[in-house]
Structure 1
Amino acid sequence: MKLAQTISFIACTVISLLICFSTSAFAEEPTTSSVTLQLKWKHKFQFAGYYAALHKGFFQDEGLDVKLAEGGPGIAPIEKVLAGHESFYGVEAGELLYERLQGKPLIAVASIYQHSPATLITLRSAELLTPHDLAGKNIAMQVKQKNIVEIAAMFVNEGMSLEALNLSENLPHPKGLTQLQNGTIDADYGYLTSEPYLIEKAGEEAGYMRPLSYGIDFYGDVLFTTEQELRKNPDRVAAMHRAVVKGWEYALKNPDEIINLILEHYALPEYPAGSLKYEAEQTIKLMQPDIVQVGHMNPDRWSRMADIMVSLKLVEDTQYFDGFLYDPDNLVVGWSNSIVYMMTASLLLLILLGLGLFWLVRRLHLSTERKTENLHQEVELRTIAEQKLNHYSEVLEARLVSRSYELAEKTKTVRSLERQLQNGNGVFKPESKRFVLLVEDDELNQVVASELLKTLGITSVVVDSGHQALEILEEQSFDLIFMDVSLPGIDGYETTQKIRASGNATPIIALTAHALKGDKERCLEAGMNDYLSKPIDLDELKKVLEKWQSQIGEDTSPATSSLY
């Protein structure tokens, strides 16, 4: 009953705590989280997945209130995100890895383009077909005076120095095409997903120098954030990742719908419907959604990209590479901190409940074992007790018979002595003033010995221990001492030694129940003068008294002049 009550109490406690944790956890969750996403360039199909995530409610489903910030000339997404005034997320390409290797706290969240659409564009009429043809030429491949990394890598990989190039700011369409046409620049930076269509519509023929054709295969647009954002809001990073991937999957399956959405909400005259349709077709080819999961990032490929930058001396080393890539498969990252705490607490409580139940069951088991063992011991002890009782009964019965026999014999002896006294057989008369000390612990032996001495005309004082004998000898002197060798406490031997040590020379006669070999020598060594065997024989007693008569001393009374 107590066990069941205890288990019920623990279970109720655990459930209550779980409810408290879950309530507090979900109470702490905000309804929405405001986020700014800085795009890399002006609104077009290049960012179709983000439009889909916003307008199809994927951001909202994840509790995100996302603002899409348009990019363009002079806008560097990395600078915006690191500044942290509004933007927490951004879209960038190879520059993201380059800045990370410079020590910037950036995190790559998802790669959108598996292969970069970046390219250098020249007019066919200029007959500039390879990177080497551009030595000393004017090239528009900078954003805020920073080089487009993968284009710079293409030149360096071809053994060319960037100092041999005249580099300038990249301008949006159609300004870039106008610069090519009027000869202001010789090559312009652009995307293969849109520029060929626009150039063809302008009636021009162009050549394209793609880094991929010269051994530089970088990822294209990448969703990124900061280390601080990942550390403080891992749940928000996970939510952004899920919503963006879902948005791109939807956009790639429904390109016409998203094109219409762009035209309705983000229309720019330089990017008409035909341009957006062409861009959608080329984007699907570069993203390869049927082969590669949207947002997939291969760590080995990123590592090779970093090694290429080091080998081309664009950066010194890769010491800052570790921790650059976000892992969406991490079970903790991407969950609400509160939910993680709640689940951790729940797990701990369940463990405690399990330990409590184990302890209770173990305790019950041990209690049962102890009771069973005690019961076995009790049965065993009772059996032993019964056996001992039977044995003691037999011993007592035998002793009773033996004592009865001894008493009968000693009674006969006493009666025989009485008859001898009546017949006047020369024993001491009762008027004798001689005293003996009888040290004997057995009551029957006390009675027999006292009566024998009394009938012989000798007065006895009886004590039943060595201690009493020593005490009485300090107060009174005796003519003779009869000493039982087997006494409780200090035995007759030790008592005799103490008497002799006190200077008392009174003759001491040992009383021993068994006349074993060596007993006499032991008695003499202890300081005794003679010994008698028990039960006391009258003739032996008279012999001992006669032997030690001279030590006792002469009495003037006729009755005491002789033992007979």
Structure 2
Amino acid sequence: MKLYNATKYVIASSIIIFNKSYFTLKRNPIYIYFVFIFSLASFSQEKPLFEKIDTLDVLLRTSEKLRVANDMYASLEYAFKVVNYAQDLGHNHYLSHGYLLMGTVQYEIIDYENATKNFLKSLEYTEKTKNKVLLPYVLNSLANVYYDGNKDYENALKYYKRAVKLGKGNPHIQQYQIPLHNLIWTYMDLDRFDEAAIYLREADSIDSSIPDSVQTDRSSLYLLRARNYAQNNDIIRAEENFDKSFEYLKDETYWPKGKSYFYRYRSEMYEKIGDHTKAINDLKLLNENDQKVFENARSKTDETTKMRFKVDQYEQQLAIAKREKDLLLDIDKNNKKIIFISTTALLLLAGIVFFYYRGYRSKKKISEILEFKNIELSEAKSQAEQLSKIKSQFISTISHELRTPLYGVVGISSILLENDAKSEKDKKLLNSLKFSADYLLDLVNKVLKVSKIDSEEKELIKTPTDLFSLSQNILQSFEYQSHKKNNILILDHNHSIPKLLYIDALRISEVLINLIGNAIKFTHQGKIWLRVKLLSTDDKTVTIRLEVEDTGTGIPEDQKDYIFEEFSQVGSVYDNKQGTGLGLSIVKNLVQVMGSQIYFESKKNIGSLFYFDLELDIAESLNDLNNQSENKESTTNISAKILVAEDNKINQLVTKNLLKNIGCSCIMAENGIDAVQILKKESFDLILMDINMPIMDGVQATIEIRQFDTTTPIIALTASELSEVSDECKKAGMNDLINKPLNKEDLRNCIAKHHK
């Protein structure tokens, strides 16, 4: 039980002394400082409310007088009337006081549950009114009930501390002193004497500065000091303060429960120092005083039960009254809303009727326009889709039709170049012929690449690769072109980069070949660098930068914004520069596929620098690279009997010579039907099957063959993009695909892969 219940109300002029910034109340250790606030509040109201406020003041004074006279039942009735009346007026100030008075009565009759509810309501309304005078008392009362009734010590400490913080520096010193004493008492009860000592020093300081005219009960402060001295084994000072405290407590009407605390704590001190006689004597006195307190509490039990029943009735009445008030307010609000809505609706209706016809006509006209525009857009979309489809089909068809004759030109020129019986003049002519054919083939491939790159699968095929060797090989492939233009090729490779990295070698090669080829095209008697820089590394990954720099003509400022666009060319259309303007567009797309971006710096007549960064995984060992090397087929000739299904005579000649050069014999079939018939009569080690043939194409021929021969490998020959025909060929039963025009090494490796 707490030393103070700061929510006890002592009302009116006979008890409260109000002088400037001080008021005092001295009756017993339960102090209340309250009513003067009511009188101040009532003067601040408007004149029409004066009589109602005066009624509330009278009700509060009556309730408090009855509580002091120990007529708790009647006191609670008047407190309820205060709450009910204040609720009708919507007066939060009196609601906070009314609920505080109700909680105080319930606390004194040990109805802690209802006391807690009403203290919390009082706190709610006190915070709404920002009543800084009343708030410390409400917080102190709430802390008391949490401590005594709920044994919720942490919440009790929280509210005591809030009350102390609000009361500190307030001219009404009791607002600070009462919760401060209770806070110290709580810390001591929880055996937290170090924390209690801090606040006890504050209490001593306050006590020494307060005049006797406004001094609160000293018994509590002496008792707290005595407990602190006893805890610190300062027995002499402890006894002195116990004696001073008892001077106040010996009055039977003063604070009966205070004597019990006195005897208990002094008995504990004597027990601690081994004075068992005095300790036992104090325990006897404690038992006698507790019996008196118990008898007093028991006398309130019946009244408490009756009070709790009455509280339930009061709460029901309050709830009913609140519902009635809320209902009336809702009805009033609804009536106002109905009037407002009706008036507004009439005005809006007039406006709607006025504008409806105009709006209807305007809407109809707009709908007709939109319908017409939608038809136009739909037709334009259909045309665009049709044009896109025709474009893709045209590019695919043209590339196929161009590749077929180029296959013959490249193949025959290669065969003738391998023939030693030719003059130097013929050799030069053949080299020129082959160069032109290769250039045309590269042009076809680039056009097809641009057309298909957006629809390709973005998956990278990464294998362990020696980036240094790859860079060397790429530069070496440009030595002839570079020498023709008197350029110097330089490889600058940082050897701190791990030897083996997981790279899509095909895509990186294509990017670097395009960049270096572009640099050679615009550089004469200059230098071209391929740099491989190390940006960062850790145990598993490495970040590198690939740069291609030249000392060529550079890029004009007005052309920098669109050099990566398809078919764009640097310089005048009359410049003698070969190219389609597709290289950098392909580079940009491929670099994006690899998860990076291409950047460049350029100054006219000084040169250009293109670069991009890649984060690559480090290959853990040489095993994968060794396995790749082992899987590469030998360059030795292969002895195999091969059926070639090809309708083009030139392609037959080229393919036959290529097979002869790698040691294979072959039989030609003009179409798919011939191939099926020949295979029924003879056995072959492998079949090279052209896809596009008259009478029966290669796919249908493969389906026919697989009905009676499921073992002979069938390799598709096609001038189309492999991605376009791959699924169809595999579904038909083909084992592999190879692009035309064929070269000897690719053909040898493919045959060796499938020939056992």
Is TM > 0.5 for Structure 1 vs Structure 2? Answer: no
User: Which protein is bigger by CA-based radius of gyration?
Assistant: 1
Higher relative contact order at CA 8 Å, sep ≥6: structure 1 or structure 2?
Answer: 1
Q: Which has the higher helix share?
A: 2
- TM-score norm. by structure 1 comes to 0.24
